A = this chain, B = another copy of it.
Amino acid sequence: MKKKVLVCITARPSYSRIRTAILALNDNPEVEVLVLASGSALLDRYGRVVDLIRKDGIEVVEELHTFVEGNDLIGMALTTASTIEATSRAIVRISPDIVVTIADRYETLGTAVAASYCGFPLAHIQGGEITGNIDERVRHAVTKLSDIHLVANSDCKERIIRMGEDESNIFITGCPSLDIVHESNELDIEDVNEAVSLSGVGAEFDINKKFIVVMQHPETDSYDKSYDRMIKTLEAVDAIGIPPLIFWPNVDAGSDATSKAIRVMRERGVLKNARYIKNLESKLFLKLLSLCHCLVGNSSVGIRESSFMGVPTVNIGRRQDGRQSSDNVMYVGWDSNQIKNAIDHQIQNGKYEISNIYGDGFSGKKIADILMQDHFSESKRFVD
């Protein structure tokens, strides 16, 4: 009988962090790999990543509407409750051999509770890292609910051992979000140009010319400041004068405020050279990233994928604090001048050396192989 692997995808970015592992499992005739989609992965407003998953030939076994709207912290708690409820019913019904959950979004903890409480072995991707915000608490709580851990590097493994997990259940695989670079390298620039002009709104855009990418998410522990922060970033970018490609934020407490800042700036007629975009297929996005002259904001893409491609990054605020980074990242605070100066510096510097701290671009296959082994949800105990 085929081994049944169930992967929980709750949001747009989660998919690119596991995609090549899913594709590798899907190629294995001994595995039935199924995606359980929920949360903002189903929402038009956030680019319905579930459609991209199906386009990749992957079976989405169920779509679970779990997203409780509300631009307040309580929305995160209520969505997590709904995630536990819907996901636990689905997992029991599907009865997989292993459940996979990814990274550290707040609702991820809901998928981990569902799997572990119902007695299914749980694999966690990207544990052991350090960041700020509620993500930090969520990530380590998920680790303590999980049976096996597939991590980016030895620092992560070391932390998970310290947290009392059995060393034999921790595997260094790197981060599969980097794997897509191989595919993206082979893309034609004009395909990306076309995708950019088809998606989004705003100014005409040509990625053959100099451009900046802006990806900024609210920090969940200070969501009320999201509006002002986005205004500051956009003012700095405007002052630079190079056309920016601006991504709408993830679903989080504070994302409405961030989006509002974008809309307000647009209405004001500032940033006339900007194009605004919701989502792009991962490989197109990485091609785009490889070409941009600077990435600005607080996305983990700046730390992770950009390190592997040497993209100059200006990281603002505390959202990525503690996460290991390579030389390509400059850290600045929420100050328009600081941000502007850092962008200037990074554009002048140009591309950085490639770093492998988040993987070598072949992580998906490694993860797929480990998931194929037998793992049991046993009565685990803190290893003293």
Contacts and interface: CB of A to CB of B under 8 A. Distances in A.
Given A69-B69, A77-B84, A382-B159, A144 B140 contact: yes
A382 B136 contact: yes
Which range holds the interface residue count of chain A? 35 or more
Contacts of A119: 73, 221
A373 interface: no
Nearest to A110: B81
A256 B45 contact: yes
A375 interface: no
A350 interface: no
Contacts of A322: 381-382
A42 B65 contact: no
Interface in A9-63: 42-45, 62
Contact of A381 (B77, B81, B321, B378): B321
Contacts of A221: 119, 377-379
Contacts of A159: 164, 382, 384
Interface string A103-138: 000100110011011110000000000111110110
Contacts of A82: 68, 78, 81, 85
A87 B137 CA distance: 19
Given A65-B69, A80-B117, A130 B89 contact: no
A64 interface: yes
B84 A80 contact: yes
A65 B67 contact: no
A74 interface: yes
A241 interface: no
A318 B66 CA distance: 31
Q: How many copies does the complex hold?
A: 4
A141 interface: yes
B80 A267 contact: no
Contact of A164 (B140, B378, B380): B140
Nearest to A46: B69
B68 A44 contact: no
A66 B69 CA distance: 8
A74 to B, nearest CB: 5
A321 B137 CA distance: 27
A70 interface: yes
A145 B136 contact: no
Contacts of A92: 72-74
A92 to B, nearest CB: 5
A207 B70 CA distance: 34
Interface of A: 42-45, 62, 64-78, 80-82, 84-86, 88-89, 92-93, 106, 109-110, 113-114, 116-119, 130-134, 136-137, 140-145, 159, 162-164, 201, 221, 256, 260, 267, 318, 321-322, 377-382, 384
Query: 4 tightest CB-CB pairs across the interface, nearest first?
Result: A77-B88, A65-B70, A81-B84, A140-B144
